[in-house]
Amino acid sequence: MRALGLNHVALEVDSVDAALEWWGRFLAFELRGHRGRMAWIDLGDQFIALSEPRTQTEDASRHFGLVVDGKESLRGALRDAGVSVPAAGALRFRDPWGNNIEVVDYRDVQFTKTPAVLAGMGSDALQKSDGALAELREKGLA
């Protein structure tokens, strides 16, 4: 038996509606559904589940990696909104509820979506960097 990937990440927030509004300031996304104290943000063939209330303390090193199609654009938008982010290099930040997020650019990681999923997301023009392609080739995935 092999682990094949992740289906979703679940985040606790104080208010699902406030979290949807906050994330919507920075990222374009499709809402998979919203029911009561839960909502689901589509990531193509994966999703983020938001639930309330937040019962955990603020995350320290525990985090999840979010793949985007424009890491530096997101860094700028977060900085402009007053979110504490490093000026360059790795992009990690906490959302208002203490969830620790690391952002990576799709072009630079070996993580990949199928052409059909990318097309369905309107991201079919994205190209992998040479480094990411080398990692994929080394594993026989490209």
Q: What whole-number distance in Å separates Cα of residue 43 and Cα of residue 65?
A: 13
Whether this prediction's pTM lies above 0.85 is answered by: yes
Q: Is the pLDDT of residue 3 over 80?
A: no
Summarised one tens digit per residue, pLDDT across range 45-69 is 899 999 999 999 988 889 999 999 9
Return the SS3 of 21: helix
Summarised one tens digit per residue, pLDDT across range 94-134 is 999 999 999 999 999 988 888 898 888 888 888 899 999 99
Q: Looking up tokens 């969830």, which residue turns up?
A: 99
- 8-138: CATH topology is 2,3-Dihydroxybiphenyl 1,2-Dioxygenase; domain 1 (3.10.180)
Summarised one tens digit per residue, pLDDT across range 24-51 is 999 999 999 999 999 999 998 899 999 9
Return the SS3 of 56: coil
Q: Which range, of 40-44, 76-80, 82-86, 117-121, averages the lowest pLDDT?
A: 117-121
- Edge-to-edge order in the sheet of strand 64-68: 64-68, 100-105, 91-94
Domain ranges within the chain, ordered by starting residue: 8-138
